[in-house]
Structure formats: C-alpha cells, structure tokens
C-alpha cells in the first residue's frame, strides 16, 4: 500500500534529467538493474521515476517511463492520473520487461501493467517504451487480494511467474504465458505468504495484515521469497522491516528458519530499522559480477523521515540464509 501519494508526487515529479547527480535520492519501492556499465533505478513516481548511475553512489534523474498515463489504466482505475507504484524490471529474450502498479488509494481497485524496451539507454536509437497494457486486475467485492507490487521470476523450466500483493489475504503467485503479458491457461494461482487479518472478512477492506512487496530471488537450489512486514509511508513512525523464507519449488510452500510456513504467518527477519532509519523495506535483490545487493527504501530520522535509497551488500550464512550489514546510525 502506498499511503503518501501527494508527497511522492512532490518528491519525484515528472522532470527531466537532474542538473547535478544526487548521492541521497529520495525513492519509494526501488528496483535496480545494470546495462553496459550503467545502473538504473526504477521506482514509484509520476510516470515511473528513473535514475541512473555509474557507481551505485551518485544518481542522476532520467525522464520518466511514461510522459502521459496509459489510457487503459485511466479507464480501469478511477482517479488514476499517472502516479505509478512499485515497478519491477528484468531482462529476458532480448527485451527489458517493466511491470508496474496502478491503484486507487487504500483500495484493491488495482491493476498490474507491463511495458517493454530493447534498451535502457535513452541515447540509443532503439530506446522506446512500448506499453503492453494490463496483465492482471483486482476488483473490490470480488478479490481478496490486491494487484500491486509485482515481481517476475522464472522457474527451473524457464516459465514466467508473477508474484505480487499488498495486505488483504497476502502475497499471490500466478503463472504467466510465454508472452509474459497475461496468466497462462489453465490459470494457476498460489498464495505464498500471508498474515492473519484478525477477524477482517470484508474483501473490500485491507484489514490489518501488514504484509506486502514480495520479491523472489533464486540462488542455488532455493527460491527466496522476501516480503515487507508492518507499515511503510509514515515517515519517522514507519515500522517496515524485511522478512524472508525459501522453497525448492517456486510454488512453495515457503518456510522460514524455524520451519514455519510463510502462508501461515512465517518469515525470518532480514533487516529492520533503527533510531536513524525508522523503517526499511520494499526490497529487491540484485546480482552483478558475482556480488549480490539488497536494494530498498528507508525513512531517515535525521531528515524528517524522508524516504531514501539504500543499497547494501548481501551475503549468505553457512545454512544458506541471507545476511546484511548493520544500518548506520
């Protein structure tokens, strides 16, 4: 759930490239990818915000993905005017696939769309975002899930799966067809993580089961499912933290370190906030040149709870669980 839409519009805007690189960029829901020595961050913002860097330290703002809101999304989600949430970027079959979320504030009137591009380099003659439209949609009164926060992962046979979700009845996984643009037939849906809603049964209400931002990362024989527990978007009062479980099967079940299933409330702590960084979450995991990184946003208590980009090395313990550095104070 993205609860600070007006603030984020002010933070991100729809501007062109920054005049000067910014070492402390303000982002929400970042994901990172590399092309030809340049790193790109895609994140929540008007038209989907984009930043580039040569060193993962100083960043320059690029043009947003969309200059105008996709018409299909405007028609599908009342009130949507271009502020687009929680993108996911990956490269397959010669194309970059960008999944993104459009939603009505506080409701599961939501859709996940997809756009493609041959390159991420704006100076290339091949650079052009082509919107492929809606992939999935959630409807209040029909669905007990929310179609936002997408992430694409391939299984061991190369078939694409999309994991997504926020609050309601948890994180969903759906198998896509070979075009990556719609559910495969027959449709196959799985609940991979959830938390108790404490008596909420109305499917038009989010409830208090604070779980969202799923991200799948494959390493060795395991698929690792990262999620964020508790609350984002409250500045210095944010309680976001990152949790993880794993499975040898992309469909799960996913278990935490204590062998508790994530679809029964389980999850092992990866990283939580401290006095400086009040909440940390909505992470991605990236691998470049044999090294892995945890990419996420954190609320800076020394800057009035402003949400900032954090990138930290990710290692693995002797039992194959992810390990991070401590947050600075």
- Range 15-34 average pLDDT: 72
User: Is pLDDT at 203 greater than 90 in this prediction?
Assistant: no
- Range 214-239 average pLDDT: 96
Element (H, E) at 268: strand 268-272
- The rounded percent of the chain whose pLDDT value lies above 70 is 93
pLDDT in tens, 59-70: 999 999 999 999
**Which of the residues 62, 143, 169, 212 is marked catalytic?**
212
Give 97's contacts (C-beta < 8 A, 6+ positions apart): 89, 90, 91, 114, 116, 152, 180
Q: In this structure, are residues 178 and 158 in contact, taking their beta carbons and an 8 Å threshold?
A: no
Tokens of 151: 């992430």
- Range 34-59 average pLDDT: 97
**Burial of 220: CB neighbours in 10 Å, binned 0-12, 13-18, 19+:** exposed
212 is annotated as an active-site residue: yes
User: Is pLDDT at 50 greater than 50 in this prediction?
Assistant: yes
Q: In this structure, are residues 3 and 233 in contact, taking their beta carbons and an 8 Å threshold?
A: yes
Domains in the chain, please, with CATH? 5-324 (2.115.10.20)
User: Is pLDDT at 299 greater than 50 in this prediction?
Assistant: yes
Q: In this structure, are residues 29 and 3 in contact, taking their beta carbons and an 8 Å threshold?
A: no
According to DSSP, the residues that pair with 51 across neighbouring strands are: 41, 61
C-alpha atoms less than 13 angstroms from C-alpha of 200 in its C-beta half-sphere? 18
User: Is pLDDT at 15 greater than 60 in this prediction?
Assistant: no
Tokens of 95: 């194309």
292 is annotated as an active-site residue: no
Measure the CA–CA gap between 29 and 295, rounded to whole angstroms. Answer: 9
Give 133's contacts (C-beta < 8 A, 6+ positions apart): 70, 72, 113, 114, 181
pLDDT in tens, 135-173: 999 999 899 999 999 999 999 999 999 999 999 999 999
> Across the chain, what does the average pLDDT equal?
92
Grouping H, G, I as helix, E, B as strand and the rest as coil, residue 151 is strand
The CA radius of gyration of the chain, in Å to the nearest whole number, is 18
Measure the CA–CA gap between 230 and 210, rounded to whole angstroms. Answer: 5
pLDDT band with cut points at 50, 70 and 90 for residue 1: very low
**Which of the residues 29, 149, 169, 230 is marked catalytic?**
29
Element (H, E) at 25: none
User: Is pLDDT at 36 greater than 90 in this prediction?
Assistant: yes
> How far from each other are the two terminal CA atoms of the chain, in whole angstroms?
27
pLDDT band with cut points at 50, 70 and 90 for residue 23: low
pLDDT band with cut points at 50, 70 and 90 for residue 199: confident
Measure the CA–CA gap between 63 and 18, rounded to whole angstroms. Answer: 9
Distance of CA 223 to the CA centre of its chain: 17
User: Is pLDDT at 12 greater than 60 in this prediction?
Assistant: no
Measure the CA–CA gap between 92 and 214, rounded to whole angstroms. Answer: 20
- Range 77-95 average pLDDT: 96
Closest alpha carbon to 92 in 118, 127, 124:
118
- Range 189-215 average pLDDT: 91
Measure the CA–CA gap between 271 and 273, rounded to whole angstroms. Answer: 7
User: Is pLDDT at 30 greater than 70 in this prediction?
Assistant: yes
């Amino acid at each position: 759930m993205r609860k600070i839409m007006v603030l984020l519009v002010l933070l991100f805007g729809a501007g062109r490239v920054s005049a000067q690189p910014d070492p402390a960029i303000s982002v929400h829901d970042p994901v990172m990818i590399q092309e030809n020595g340049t790193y790109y961050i895609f994140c929540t913002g008007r038209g989907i915000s984009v930043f580039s860097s040569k060193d993962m330290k100083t960043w320059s703002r690029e043009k947003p993905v969309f200059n105008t809101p996709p018409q299909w999304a405007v028609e599908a989600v009342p009130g949507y005017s271009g502020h687009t949430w929680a993108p996911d970027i990956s490269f397959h079959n010669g194309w970059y696939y960008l999944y993104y979320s459009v939603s009505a504030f506080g409701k599961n009137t939501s859709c996940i769309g997809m756009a493609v591009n041959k390159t991420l380099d704006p100076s290339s003659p091949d650079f052009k975002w082509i919107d492929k439209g809606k992939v999935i949609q959630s409807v209040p009164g029909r669905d007990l899930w929310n179609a936002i926060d997408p992430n694409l992962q391939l299984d061991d046979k190369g078939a694409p799966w999309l994991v997504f979700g926020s609050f309601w009845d948890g994180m969903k996984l759906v198998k896509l067809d070979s075009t990556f643009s719609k559910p495969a037939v027959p449709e196959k849906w799985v609940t991979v993580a959830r938390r108790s809603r404490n008596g909420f049964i109305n499917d038009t209400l989010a409830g208090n089961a604070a779980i969202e931002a799923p991200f799948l990362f494959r390493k060795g024989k395991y698929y690792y499912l990262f999620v964020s527990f508790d609350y984002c978007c409250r500045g210095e009062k944010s309680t976001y933290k990152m949790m993880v479980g794993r499975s040898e099967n992309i469909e799960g079940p996913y278990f935490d370190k204590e062998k508790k299933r994530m679809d029964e409330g389980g999850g092992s702590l990866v990283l939580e906030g401290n006095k400086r960084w009040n909440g940390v979450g909505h992470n991605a995991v990236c691998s470049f040149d044999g090294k892995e990184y945890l990419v996420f946003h954190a609320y800076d208590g020394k800057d009035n709870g402003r949400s900032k980009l954090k990138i930290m090395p990710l290692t693995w313990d002797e039992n194959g669980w992810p390990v991070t550095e401590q947050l600075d104070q």
